[in-house]
Amino acid sequence: MAIVLDAFAAYLRDLLIQVTKDKVGLLLGVSDEISKLDEKLQFLKDYLGDAEKKRITDRHVEGWVRKLKGIMYEATDILEICQLKAMEQGASVDLGCCNPLLFCLRNPLFAHDIASRIKKLNQSLDNICKTGADFKFMKLETYQDQKTASPPISRTTSPVLELSGVVGDQIKEDTSELVKMLTENRETIQAGNNVLLVAIMGVGGIGKTTLARNIFNDKTIQEKFDMKIWLSVTQKFNEDDLLTTAIIATGGDHRGSYNRSTSEPALVNAIRGKKFLLVMDDMWSERAWNDFLRAPFSHGGPGSRVVVTTRDERIAKGVKAMYLHHVNKLTPDDAWSLLKQQALREDKPAVSAARENAAAIEKWERSDRMALMVMRQTISPFIQIDRAPAIKHVGSEFLLCHHDGHPNSLIAAAFPSLQKLELVGMVEWGDWDWDNQVQAMPCLEDFLLKCCKLRRLPPGLAFHARALWLLYVYEVQNLMFVEGFTSVVELELWDNPDLERISNLPKLRKLQIVFCPKMQVLEGVPELRSLILEDHLIQTLPRYLQDVNMKNFQVDCSFELLSSIALGDAGPEWNKISHILQVKAYAGDIHDRRRWHVSYTRYPYCFETNVDGSSNPSALLHQSQQMGSSMLTEEREPNLQLSRRNARMLLRLQKNRWWLGQSSYSRCSDQSFIGI
């Protein structure tokens, strides 16, 4: 969004310089309105960076950004209207005017209309600037200065225990067990070392440090040990800092010395003959103990203990730990307690609703990944499910919010903060129940659906996801139609073999249809600006083209179809595309997918192609069909099936290359052709 604002503001500044030289523009007051528009866009651009960050957690900011996007679309509409008018009147460089808007401003009647539109746009921007002031956005350079001045985030830990982070019976049991082990009189003599080592192991974030803190602060530990030392080792530890910290913790005197030769004797003097508990938290290497700390701490008194926390069992064995304790996952009850205490800090109804949702999902499918995903629904703006082959049906219980154990009491919209959703690889999923009565996903903006067998997109998605403006549907086997998404602006459809109809998408501007061979109906898309169509096996252009009023059309097709398009007004395809302002058509072979082309511009008229009569249509057609079929057989139907299978394979390879090379907001194949 910031890039769009910047580009648009730069365009207006250049335009303003030209308009000030034009007397008609000055008389009509157009230059004043353009100047105001430029000032407002510059103001918004300065604060948009902070708004984009805050929108993730603040629903009101999210609504503000969404309104700003709508206004920017209105601004691009003004430019497109001027461009169309300039084309119709034959604007050219020879007339001394390269800018379509400036050209149109020389027409007093049209300039008056444009001035009114820009004035209305300024009023909308005034309102959004006033609303934005309430959010107290930080200016871009202020944020960057603050970010530069901020110190790097420290990974060190301390023994201070946050009581809200200790939940459930499991951690109490583990603490009791380990405290008992550490305080018992056990045989600890091991190669002359009277220190017993205990290792606490587990993956990152599972609670190793919390358990170590709980032990460190236990009353029994306080009574049984003469001193306690907590060392945060971390991945990039400094041995001198570790020794100095240990000396200070034991009450010793390092006398301002930070080198090993003086620090080790000082530490030995501080702990000699005393019973200590040493905790080394977050160890990534056994070097900290084996090379630096083992020797001085071997001088402690009998019964001294060392506790190590680590993610790697090899480290635990490397320090010769005599006991290994594995931290287990939280139980469902403990997990919900922690979620309420730490994530939201209060027992909101939505948390109880999320718990019921997770229980419902576990009941109908028992998918651990799904359950963990739903557990975070109230706080996560992004959810991705990747490869859940066991799921065949998603019922309404997935979205219902419950309260106090009553499954029918709707209290709030489910997934209230969700902005981006990706459902990928649910290969057996065929049904999704969600009707208009169930509220959910009110902030959803970006939805990717890939590799499943859904027969339809649920009505509730179109009805309640009113913020949805990016919709991507890839490889959905049984889907026959996409309709009723009143807020969607960009739609991409890839390799949907049964798709037949797209309808009632009143705000749709960009549409991409790739290998959807049954697609026949496109209606209810009054705002459509650009369409990309790709299918190297189609023989004719779809009839729906002649009923859609759009600016740009691009097609990648067979050479046979391209040859027909290349005939221009003498060919059978002309009536389908002649009303479109810009048309680009391509065909190719296995070496160059766009070897041949046709380019058509309506105003001013221009028709170009490199397809000519000297070409050998049969040979070229054979080459183009090699993109979808490795060999031709005598029977047409088996050959067609083989071609489609191979074409799908090539399509997936092409799509994978495209996906890795493009950002989520620039997915069109020809950026110079497709406008904002």
d(CA 487, CA 507): 6
For residue 626, the tally of other CB atoms under 10 A from its CB is: 17
Question: Is residue 72 domain-shared with residue 206, that is, in the same domain?
Answer: no
Rounded to an integer, what distance in angstroms lies between the CA atom of residue 173 and that of residue 325?
12
Give percent of the chain above pLDDT 70: 62
User: Do 13 and 119 reside in the same domain of the chain?
Assistant: yes
Domain of 267, CATH number, reads 3.40.50.300
Q: 562: pLDDT confidence band, cut at 50, 70 and 90?
A: very high
> Mean pLDDT throughout 380-394?
79
Q: Is residue 15 part of a domain?
A: yes
121 and 218 inside one domain: no
Q: Can you give the C-alpha Rg of the chain in angstroms?
A: 34
Instruction: Please report which helix (H) or strand (E) contains residue 603, including its range.
Output: none
Task: Give the pLDDT confidence score for residue 186 in this predicted structure.
Answer: 63
Q: Could you give phi then psi for residue 380, rounded to 5 degrees?
A: -100, 130
What is the mean predicted confidence (pLDDT) over 462-486? 93
| 208 contacts: CB under 8 Å, gap ≥ 6 | 200, 201, 202, 281, 282, 309, 310, 311, 327
Q: Backbone phi, then psi, for 589, in 5-degree steps?
A: -130, -170
Lowest mean pLDDT among 157-161, 252-256, 507-511: 252-256
470 occurs within a structural domain: no
| Domain contains 30 | yes
DSSP result, 142-169 = HHHHHHHHSPPPP----S---GGG--SH
- Predicted confidence band of residue 482 (pLDDT cuts 50, 70, 90): very high
Same domain, 71 and 196: no
- What confidence tens digit (pLDDT) does each residue in 48-78 have? 767 766 766 666 777 777 777 777 777 766 7
Q: Give domain status of residue 296, yes or no.
A: yes
Question: How many CB atoms are located within 10 Å of the residue 657 CB?
Answer: 10
* Same domain flag for 79 and 177: no
* Inside any domain, residue 260: yes
**Where are the strands (E) in 486-620, listed by range?**
490-494, 501-503, 510-514, 521-523, 530-534, 552-556, 582-587, 596-601, 606-609
Measured in residues, the chain has a length of 676
The reply to whether 102 falls in a domain is yes
pLDDT of 328: 76
Better pLDDT: 13 or 661: 13
**pLDDT number for residue 27:** 45
131 plus 185 within the same structural domain: no
Angstrom distance (rounded) from CA 138 to CA 94: 46
Residues 105 and 181 placed together within one structural domain of the fold: no
335 against 608, higher pLDDT: 608
Domain termination residue (choose one: 326, 354, 378): 326
Give the end of a domain, one of 148, 181, 211: 148
Give residue 102's domain range: 2-148
165 is written with which tokens? Answer: 């982070």
- Under DSSP, the state recorded for 558 is -
Q: Are residues 312 and 173 in the same domain?
A: yes
Task: Give this prediction's pTM.
Answer: 0.51
The pLDDT of residue 101: 56
pLDDT in tens, 588-644: 877 788 899 999 998 889 999 998 755 544 444 444 445 444 333 333 343 444 444
Residue 464 has pLDDT above 80, yes or no: yes
Q: What total of structural domains would you count in the chain? A: 2
What distance in Å separates the CA atoms of residue 447 and residue 642, rounded to the nearest whole number? 32
Domain identity same for 248 and 303: yes
Q: Do residues 173 and 322 share a domain?
A: yes
The verdict on residue 125 lying in a domain is yes
Q: How many Å apart are CA 528 and CA 536, to the nearest integer?
A: 23
Q: Is the pLDDT of residue 277 over 50?
A: yes
- What burial letters (b/e) apply to 181-213, b meaning 16+ CB within 10 Å? bbbeeeeeeeeebebbbbbbbbeeebbbbbbbb
* pLDDT surpassing 70 at residue 671: no
Closest CA relative to residue 455, chosen from 474, 429, 473, 436: 429
Q: Which of 326, 351, 385 is the last residue of a domain?
A: 326
Give a yes or no: residue 225 inside a domain.
yes
State whether 47 and 174 are in the same domain: no
> Is residue 676 predicted with pLDDT exceeding 60?
no
Do 538 and 557 touch, CB atoms closer than 8 A? Answer: yes
Contact between residue 304 and residue 277 where contact means Cβ atoms under 8 Å apart: yes
User: Same structural domain for residues 136 and 183?
Assistant: no
| Cβ count near 386 (within 10 Å) | 12
